[in-house]
Amino acid sequence: MAIARKGWVVVDCPDPLALARFYAGLLGGEPDVEQDNDRWVELITEDGWKLAFQRAEGFRPPQWPSAEHSQQLHLDVYVDDMEEAERRTLDLGATALDTDDQGGKRGFRVYADPAGHPFCLIQASFAT
This prediction has a pTM of: 0.77
**Cβ-based neighbour number of residue 47 at 10 Å:** 8
Residues comprising the chain, all counted: 128
Is 29 part of any domain? yes
Strand arrangement of the beta sheet that strand 95-98 belongs to: 75-79, 118-123, 108-112, 95-98
Domain identity same for 51 and 93:
no
Assigned domain for 117 exists: yes
85 Cβ neighbours under 8 A, 6+ residues apart = 79, 121
**8 with 49: CB under 8 angstroms?**
no
Tell me which residue range forms the domain holding 40: 7-57
Question: CATH no. for residue 100?
Answer: 3.10.180.10
Task: Quick: pLDDT tens for 55-114.
Answer: 989 888 888 777 777 766 778 888 999 899 999 999 999 999 987 777 767 788 999 999
- Alpha carbon distance 23, 45 (integer Å): 9
